[in-house]
Amino acid sequence: MEAAASAGGVYTPAVQWFVSVVALGMVAANAGCHRQAQPHGRAEALKVRVLATHPHDPAAFTQGLLWFRGKLIESTGLYARSGVRRSDPKTGVVELAGRLPDDVFGEGLALVGRDLVQLTWKNGKALYWDLMTMRVWKEVTYEGEGWGLCYDGSRLVMSDGTDTLMFRDPKDFSMLGQIQVRMHGSPVAHLNELECVDDEVYANVWQTDFIARIDANTGTVTGWIDASNLLQGADRQGVDVLNGIAYVPETKRFLLTGKNWPKIFEVEFVAAAPKAGS
């Protein structure tokens, strides 16, 4: 994303960030007192534990991130700089890439079989790339903006910057349904990069350092992940926001990065420390 989408009845990015911090404190207190269960539908407070770091091209304006057979597949954005690429996670070297026309702004990415499905921000098109050649072979249209995308094994899950997740048919991109995302009864907007894992969707909340773990059946936020401790010192210079979530099924770990970040972080999500006195 480059600019905020308007969404009536939901928080602006600044207010959302403040509410996120307050909510995280509330959830952390609850987690410290009730480690085994989250009563009253409270989201579990989590943080990231860094297990390893990998190189990442700081010129990549990351919009979507996937893990496939030991390789990283990435969607990049910005006009005249958008495309898809496959890289070696150990070296960061780009092995194969495809570029979009200069007037197309790339967004979220999902893998369906041997097809990479990429959203566009304001062009109203989903692009189907051949995984092996990185060439577009099909385009379909949709209404509204495109932000994040993931595949749950039967449906594509799409975000558009609001508090809504849409389910789409992977073959023709037709709408199959949608859910509204709620945490403690309040809408969580600016849902961006998505990663589907079993019956859950992990969604980066744009312009924050938080990731929401969402029940894909109900839209309820079941976990609230603080990823603010990743970049440190000089690595924070010249970077944009957190945006890039890939699940590695072989290790059950996650890979996290951001727009123009110099590193990819291999992490696991662990319980956040409880507040003092809880």
9-50: per-residue pLDDT in tens? 333 333 343 344 444 433 333 333 222 334 345 889 999 999
In this structure, the number of other CB atoms found within 10 A of the CB of residue 86 comes to 19
Provide, rounded to the nearest whole percent, the portion of the chain with pLDDT above 70: 83
Q: In this predicted model, which residue has the larger pLDDT, 41 or 261?
A: 261
Tracing tokens 């989201």 back to the chain, one arrives at 43
Mean pLDDT of the chain: 85
Query: Tens of pLDDT along 122-159?
Result: 999 999 999 999 999 999 999 999 999 999 999 999 99
pLDDT for res 276:
58
Residue bearing tokens 């308007």:
6
Cα gap 242→204, rounded to integer Å: 7
Q: How confident is the model at residue 269, as a pLDDT?
A: 96
- Mean pLDDT value across residues 252-262: 94
pLDDT of amino acid 70: 94
Instruction: Look at residues 220, 178, 180, 184 and name the one whose alpha carbon lies nearest to residue 200.
Output: 220
Please name the residues in contact with 196: beta carbons below 8 A apart, sequence gap of 6 or more.
110, 150, 151, 152, 153, 157, 202, 216
- Please give the average per-residue pLDDT across 153-170, as a whole number: 97
Q: What is the pLDDT of residue 26?
A: 35
Distance CA 196, CA 131 (A): 19
Q: How many residues does the chain have?
A: 278
- d(CA 229, CA 46) in angstroms, rounded, equals 12
Task: Using DSSP bridges, classify how beta strands 94-99 and 106-112 pair: parallel, antiparallel or unpaired.
Answer: unpaired
Instruction: Identify the band that residue 57 occupies on the pLDDT scale cut at 50, 70 and 90.
Output: very high
Cα–Cα separations (whole angstroms), residue 96 to 29, 83, 135, 157: 46, 11, 10, 26
Backbone phi, psi, residue 174, to 5°: -70, 150
pTM score, two decimals? 0.84
- Other beta carbons within 10 Å of 128: 18
Locate tokens 């590695």: which residue? Answer: 248
- Look-up of token digits 């060439």: 135
Which of 236, 215, 237, 212 is closest to 226 using CA atoms?
A: 212
**Residue holding tokens 């989590």?**
46
Please state the rounded mean pLDDT for residues 84-110.
95
- Range of lowest pLDDT (14-23, 46-55, 99-108, 245-254): 14-23
